[in-house]
């Protein structure tokens, strides 16, 4: 697994993607499904640049509490700055498999695009179960990259690039096995929903545009183990440019939301 390094530059790149309109829509749907109420205590596992934590702090109000957890110092610095106006919100450095938080201390917890990076999911879900109050709500959003439909003139090359991209995750297909993992951890599964990231024609301010740049950059650094050389990766990039010029760009990726209660 060639883990992504979330240094200052990477944190800013992630923030730019999270501010794109379709990703903002995903965040709004996440909040709608989690339905945080005034006075609740909410945990954001893998808070990233703090955009969701900021909104959670607004929704739970001064009588509530938000803890934004992340293991990357650059992300934590960005999140801390974003939630600084809210004294009832704080950032905490930590790991999803070892939540240094009291038992039964949160009404709700949310994790978006995080657990797919976690190798020991039974332990992570046991920790999530432990820190939630009885009846507490959990919302988990992750991607299954098998759902990706991405137009390319050379489908075999596209498959190799996406296989390379899989390397940055502990489990690029986590949603397919998440329901039984939740059940074994003691949760009751309430709902599963798909949030599509759909770009049927080129839009520079889109998740598709941001992820294309990230995947190309990752493959340039890590493609050798898959036999991907610079010339092939340039061909991949140039092909996408030609498809854009001809109005033939298409990208679709499913994200899966799991709602469960303790």
Quick one: pLDDT at residue 21?
A: 87
Residue 3 has pLDDT above 70, yes or no: no
Q: pLDDT per residue over 68-127, tens digit each? A: 999 999 999 999 999 999 999 999 999 999 999 999 999 999 999 999 999 999 999 999
What the block records as the tokens of 171 is 């489990």
* Domains, the chain, with CATH or none: 8-261 (3.40.50.150)
Quick one: pLDDT at residue 4?
A: 59
Mean pLDDT of 10-16: 78
Q: How far is CA 236 from CA 50, 102, 151, 239, in A?
A: 33, 49, 11, 5
| Contact call for residues 168 and 218 (beta carbons, < 8 A) | yes
Of 172, 48, 176, whose CA–CA distance to 119 is shortest? Answer: 172
Query: Which residues, 6+ apart, have CB-to-CB distance to 153 below 8 Å?
Result: 239, 242, 243
pTM for the whole structure: 0.92
Q: Tell me what the pLDDT averaged over the chain comes to.
A: 94
Cα of 248 vs its chain's centroid, Å: 28
């Amino acid at each position: 697994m060639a883990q992504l390094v979330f240094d200052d530059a990477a944190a800013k790149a992630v923030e730019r993607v999270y501010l794109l309109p379709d990703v903002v829509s995903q965040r709004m749907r996440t909040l709608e499904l989690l339905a945080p109420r005034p006075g609740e205590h909410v945990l954001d596992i893998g808070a990233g640049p703090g955009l969701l934590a900021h909104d959670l702090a607004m929704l739970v109000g001064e009588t509530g509490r938000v803890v934004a957890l992340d293991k990357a110092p650059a992300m934590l610095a960005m999140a801390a700055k974003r939630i600084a106006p809210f004294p009832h919100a704080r950032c905490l450095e930590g790991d999803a498999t070892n939540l240094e938080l009291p038992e039964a201390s949160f009404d709700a917890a949310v994790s978006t695009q995080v657990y797919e990076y976690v190798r020991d999911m039974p332990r992570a879900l046991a920790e999530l179960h432990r820190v939630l109050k009885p009846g507490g709500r959990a919302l988990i959003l992750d991607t299954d990259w098998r759902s990706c439909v991405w137009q390319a003139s050379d489908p075999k090359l596209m498959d190799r690039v996406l296989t390379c991209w899989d390397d940055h995750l502990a489990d690029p297909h986590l949603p397919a096995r998440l329901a039984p993992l939740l059940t074994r951890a003691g949760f009751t599964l309430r709902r599963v929903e798909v949030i599509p990231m759909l770009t049927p024609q080129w839009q520079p301010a889109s998740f598709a545009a941001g992820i294309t740049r990230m995947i190309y950059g990752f493959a340039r650094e890590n493609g050798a183990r898959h036999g991907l050389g610079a010339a092939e990766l340039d061909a991949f990039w140039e092909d996408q440019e030609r498809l854009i010029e001809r109005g033939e760009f298409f990208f679709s990726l499913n994200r899966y939301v799991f709602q469960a209660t303790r």
